[in-house]
């Protein structure tokens, strides 16, 4: 199998990049490389919002929820993990996953199993690997991981607070500034309406 993957030519790699949105590739790279599930969520959510008519839109939501569910589970938030992972099952479509280069039935089965484990709190957190079925996509993801300096399928670094508590530690100054601008604009519109 490994020999087959290394035999993929540059042209095949280029076709892979054209076949799948780069955001899906980036999602998979973060999911399996640095295990930054928060970043997976950010990447795919932005893509999903910018492409509301995407043929796999529902499945993209499911993949976003898988990443969020694992983020919660790794942090020990059982309720959040169960909610997000359970919800993802209603969005993940096996045929769409196949169209995105993944083994749909296997992925859905893995998420179902993870929901059961999270509900029971039966086992300690362990990373989940999404079954990438397309060998050229898998090879492209592994190459990208290597370029970014991390291995494919390595375990999460639970001591890295930027992975575990990213929602608390990220820089949100741009969001705060934008909210302040929008509030000021609403005040000006209201004041303009009062003057008339």
What Cα–Cα distance (Å) separates residue 87 from each residue in 18, 69, 91, 139, 174? 30, 9, 7, 30, 30
Average pLDDT over residues 32-38: 95
- The per-residue pLDDT for 26 is 97
More confident residue, 190 or 73: 73
pTM of the model: 0.78
- The per-residue pLDDT for 113 is 95
Do 47 and 64 touch, CB atoms closer than 8 A? no
- The per-residue pLDDT for 35 is 96
- The per-residue pLDDT for 195 is 61
The pLDDT of residue 110 is above 90: yes
- For 58-90, give the DSSP string: HHHHHHHHHHHHHHHHHHT-HHHHHHHHHHHTT
| pLDDT tens digits, one per residue of 124-167 | 889 999 999 999 999 999 999 999 999 999 998 877 667 765 55
Do 68 and 58 touch, CB atoms closer than 8 A? no
- The per-residue pLDDT for 112 is 97
């Amino acid at each position: 199998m490994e020999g087959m993957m290394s035999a993929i030519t540059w042209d095949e790699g280029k076709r892979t990049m054209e076949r799948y949105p780069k955001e899906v590739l980036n999602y998979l790279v973060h999911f399996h490389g640095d295990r930054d599930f928060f970043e997976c969520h950010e990447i795919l959510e932005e893509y999903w919002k910018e492409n509301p008519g995407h043929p796999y839109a529902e499945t993209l939501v499911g993949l976003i929820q898988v990443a969020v569910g694992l983020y919660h589970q790794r942090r020990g938030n059982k309720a959040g993990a169960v909610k997000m992972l359970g919800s993802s099952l209603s969005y993940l479509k096996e045929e769409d996953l196949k169209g995105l280069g993944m083994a749909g039935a296997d992925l859905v089965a893995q998420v179902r199993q993870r929901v059961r484990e999270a509900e029971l709190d039966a086992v300690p957190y362990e990373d989940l690997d999404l079954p990438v079925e397309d060998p050229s996509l898998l090879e492209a993801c592994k190459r990208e991981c290597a370029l970014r300096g991390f291995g494919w399928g390595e375990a999460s670094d639970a001591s890295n607070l930027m992975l575990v508590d990213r929602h608390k530690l990220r820089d949100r100054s741009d969001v705060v500034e934008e909210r302040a601008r929008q509030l000021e604009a609403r005040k000006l519109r209201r004041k303009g309406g009062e003057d008339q």
